[in-house]
Amino acid sequence: MAAIIVAGLLIAVLPNGEEEPGTSAPPAGPTRAGGDPSQALPTEESPAEVPTTAPNGVTWELVGPLAAPVSTSAGPKQVTETSAVGFAHTPEGALIAATQILVRSTFTLGRKHWEPTIERQFVPSDDRDRLLAELRALDSSQVDPGAFSQIAGFSYQSYTPDTAVIGLVLRAPSTGAPQYHVLSLTLLWRDGDWRMQAPPGGSWGSVNRRTDDLTGVVAWGPR
């Protein structure tokens, strides 16, 4: 059960004292509409090099109580109440997609968010179906809303135009020394957009590890 509930615990909230996301005007590019979000997908070619600095032109907007990144160049190109789609076919597009999809698939946002996100933006597989089944069986009262981690940075573990593996670094709630963990998220380019590959066995715990070594990690998160 703990391995399943990790999906509701490993997402960022705002660091203390930092600006609340969504207080500034949203960037030009993403559209809010009630139609089929697949109608607005980017066609950028994928460059070979991955970024070594935090992406420019990114703001953080609230999805419920959680913050998700929106880029003027990397997407999402269309945002509805329950989806964010249309990410650039670039390393930066994969990073934004990984964070957006992870946030929107978080159990604590409620079923109206995580269910359509996992159904439509995860690659179909037995692991995805198991993740859905486990989340549907959970009781939302089991999740402590004060136990969120904070997005602290990222590293590209590997990248090709078809597959991106991104280590999303999170800082766990702690009153002492900072404690970090890394979620290894795999994105596949399918049907003109980046889509998440479900973790093995449908368990986020299988791709989560604690770390004290932030070598090569690019600092990034809501500001």
> Percentage of the chain with pLDDT > 90?
61
Mean pLDDT of 53-80: 94
pTM (two decimals): 0.80
Mean pLDDT of 155-170: 97
Mean pLDDT of 68-95: 95
CA–CA dist 16, 11 (Å, integer): 15
Domain boundaries, the chain: 2-219
The one-letter amino acid code at 125 reads S
Which residue has tokens 């935090």?
54
- Confidence at residue 90, expressed as pLDDT on a 0 to 100 scale: 96
- Confidence at residue 173, expressed as pLDDT on a 0 to 100 scale: 79
Q: In what helix (H) or strand (E) does residue 130 lie, and over which residues does it extend?
A: helix 126-136
Residue 67, beta-bridge partner list = 62
CA–CA dist 97, 105 (Å, integer): 12
- Confidence at residue 64, expressed as pLDDT on a 0 to 100 scale: 87
- With beta carbons less than 8 A apart as the criterion, state whether 161 and 189 touch: yes
Residue 166, helix vs strand vs coil = strand
Write the CA distances from 82 to 6, 110, 111, 115, 128, integer angstroms: 21, 11, 10, 9, 18
- Confidence at residue 22, expressed as pLDDT on a 0 to 100 scale: 40
The one-letter amino acid code at 10 reads L
